[in-house]
Structure 1
Amino acid sequence: MAVGSTSETSHLVSTLICWSHCSDYPIYRDFCPYITNHGLGPRTFNGSHSWYRTHPHMLELVFHRRMLEYPCLTADSARADAVFLPYYAGIDALRYLYGRDVNSSASHGLDLYRFLRSEKPEIWERNNGRDHFLVMARPAWDFSRPPAPDQPAWGTSFLQLPELVNLTALTLESRPSPWQEHAVPSPTSFHPASLRRLESWLARARQARRANLMMFAGSVGVGSGPNIRRMIRDECEEEAAECEVVDCSGGVCDGDPIRYMRVMLRSRFCLQPAGDTAVRRSTFDGMVAGCIPVFFEERSAAEQFGWHVEEGEYGGLSVYVRKEEVVGRRVRVAEVLNGVSREEEMRMRERVLEMVMRVTYRRHGSSVGLRSIKDAFDLAVEGSIRRIKERLTFQSY
């Protein structure tokens, strides 16, 4: 099936947010460096071939660059079965979330809608946008604010606007009953450019000496009351010989994969408690390192990434411990993980490593050999096309 790309949309983005204003949003300090290498960010060091300082909110740029290589791409939108919009929704949202238009969040997306209706109205109107899709490199919650001005809430109203309700949106986390959006993996810092680079890294992860039973990378639990992160921190302090914590409070891990990847390589299990959102980029970082994920809520993974990891596959590559059991001190995480046999652990780790390319984004311009393996981008595009086809088929009845 052919995919069309409304390339003119990127000019709209350039008008809406100028790259020279990268440092205008304190939440990022200065996100200009992350834009380099088409959103992959700077290399971790000059000799690096696969590792970059990638910020997850740059997925829109990464996706756009990869789409330019898509074998079924056509510049003629009239011939396309699906239309990709290279609109950087998450970046454009910054002016509504933190910038000059913070009081106009209900307007986010209307400029895009007017552009699509005026530039090539026949393409939009043939299916009222049902055959259009885009990437929104933030959780869907950030775009789900009620448009009514008397209902103050976090986010913009992009996904709530009637004008854009038919779009398919690829987000970093979807809502519990998604019908507009579908979650795709957050980008890690690993972007191999050749099959040899991929195989070399996987061999390193398989051979890693894993002295730690478990590890946690993220902001440590806060507040005086019990919560899952606080309980994990307390247990790791008590089980210092078996658990290692990488404190990423204050964003110190952003753009510094070495800080946590070394610990993940020497750990058998990676703890993935929900934080501000249910889904954590750390889940995919850990999988790249061959560190078996430990989930504490179903919505952290099993309810999110059906195009990349089918729901029934999670039991073979992860451990699930109910959050309530840990917070209520009825279960200790270390005891659960020590109860996993070494044979089962090896099977799970091998399955995790087999899934690495399905949850990571290879570098643009990669070798022919690596292109034969579907990565997170390929699966996201295929899933979007299937979804659009199903919606249009249903519409015809």
Structure 2
Amino acid sequence: MASRPRILIWVAFFFFFEFVFCESVVDPDAPECTNRWIHIRRLPTRFNLDLLTNCSEYPVFDDFCPYLANHGLGQKTHNNSHSWYRTDPLMLELVFHRRMLEYPCLTSDPSAADAIFLPYYGGIDAIRYLFGPEVNSSFEHGLELYEFLQQDSPEVWSRNGGHDHFTVLARPAWDFSQSLDNDPPIWGTSFLELPEFYNITVLTLESRPWPWQEQAIPYPTSFHPVSLVLLDSWVQRVRRSRRTTLMLFAGGGGTSLLPNIRRSIRSECENSSNSENSTRIAGGYSKLCYIVDCSNGICEHDPIRYMKPMLQASFCLQPPGDTPTRRSTFDGILAGCIPVFFEDLTAKSQYGWHLPREEFGEFSVFIPKEDVVFGGQRILDVLMGIPRAEVRRMREKVMELMPKILYRKHGSSLGLRTRKDAFDIAVDGTIDRIKSRLEKVSLQ
């Protein structure tokens, strides 16, 4: 576990970076920054860095101190690793904040900014409402931040009524969407239900289908290359990998007696093992189905456990669970494993910036879960019916998407910065959305 002194040193180091980068502005006439200027709002540390110093003391929640290392990327998977880390999705707020400090078009003048970033660690701050003694006050989550924005340089907020502000919440939007009218409160805080924040753009790990201000961005994987050589090396490894398994499911669940998609997957996979012993498998596969049991979170910070099997599989099954999407969706893409979706909300209706809706048929397979659970449709029949040449084309498309869904390491090489990653695409999309929103507001 990371010690408190080490955490405080890390926080002080972060402060130094924030001061240096936020006060350094490139040429205001730089053409690449036209309409792309961002101002990072200076927030009191109680809204971000102070929340990290208690990383081992949040009630009814795992100690997340080890995952603060490397500015939120976590500890390396092994000492010689240059790209692989034990990354926790909750740390995306830190990762995003650190990367924002390297954004080439920062301005210290909020009036000159096209967008304003709020470095609020809302997902971490939410822990006290979700699991702690303040669970009955979850409707208050965000009010303290709003009060600060009204009191400190109120003209920054009032200029556009918050429409030009954006932040990152490293949890599914469902965790922040409890109705203000629930009494007693149920799961979640009410951050996204507060009228005070209706105008800001919120980047979440998963978004709901209706609110305009939410936008889902990829779950962070464990792969964070620092150079173009390391990225290209991984792409070549993925391309050379022998796909000896037709389909793979990495996850938990499926043991309930009630009919559901995970239970159907487990049942079909177990039955396929029997047929492998008596029937020659078509298509050159030595195994029809393989399950990586990730029950009880054992895979969460151990990418080796699931990445190696994913590299050997042609298709990775991505059924919904407690929420529609899974981090495994992006782990599978990183392994060149073609995703198989069972409902549109898993990815198609959420991640349009990173996974274009019109291209889903080129890199994924869709099988309605109702057809599998209640209609008797066998997943294996669908996948085995796809010609090998089509499978190869789909895998090449998946590999094209790989740089777009990973978060490269901060301080990366100039060569790697020429490839837009998940962060770059998220920032571009945010600025475009804010611009469009401000144009609509001006016409009202």
Q: What pairs up with 1:1-397 in 2 under 5 angstroms?
A: 1-15=36-50, 17-27=51-61, 29-150=62-183, 152-240=185-273, 241-397=287-443
Q: Shift of the alpha carbon at 1:270? A: 0.1
Cα distance between partner residues in 1 of 2:43 and 2:140: 20
Q: Secondary structure at the match of 2:351?
A: coil
Cα distance between partner residues in 1 of 2:415 and 2:206: 31
Q: Deviations over 1:184-212 (max 9, x none)?
A: 01100011110000000000001001110
CA contact (8 A) 1:2 1:82 kept: yes
The residue type paired with residue 126 of structure 1 is R
Structure 1 pair 25–259 and aligned structure 2 pair: CA distance change class (3 A): farther
Larger Rg: 2
CA contact (8 A) 2:60 2:132 kept: no
Cα distance between partner residues in 2 of 1:370 and 1:282: 24
Structure 1 pair 52–118 and aligned structure 2 pair: CA distance change class (3 A): same
CA contact (8 A) 2:136 2:185 kept: no
Structure 1 pair 88–302 and aligned structure 2 pair: CA distance change class (3 A): same
What TM-score, normalized by structure 1, do the two folds share? 0.97
Cα distance between partner residues in 1 of 2:46 and 2:358: 42
How many aligned positions are there? 395
Structure 1 pair 48–389 and aligned structure 2 pair: CA distance change class (3 A): same
CA contact (8 A) 1:4 1:84 kept: yes
Structure 1 pair 112–333 and aligned structure 2 pair: CA distance change class (3 A): same
RMSD over aligned CA atoms reads: 1.2
Cα distance between partner residues in 1 of 2:77 and 2:45: 28
Q: Shift of the alpha carbon at 1:77? A: 1.6
Cα distance between partner residues in 2 of 1:21 and 1:378: 28
The residue type paired with residue 248 of structure 1 is C
Q: Deviations over 1:104-131 (max 9, x none)?
A: 0000001110111111101001111110
Cα distance between partner residues in 1 of 2:216 and 2:84: 24
Q: Deviations over 1:53-111 (max 9, x none)?
A: 01111110000000000001112222111000000010000000001211100000011
Unpaired runs of at least 5, structure 1:
none
Cα distance between partner residues in 2 of 1:9 and 1:182: 26
Q: Shift of the alpha carbon at 1:181? A: 0.5
Cα distance between partner residues in 2 of 1:341 and 1:149: 52
What TM-score, normalized by structure 2, do the two folds share? 0.87
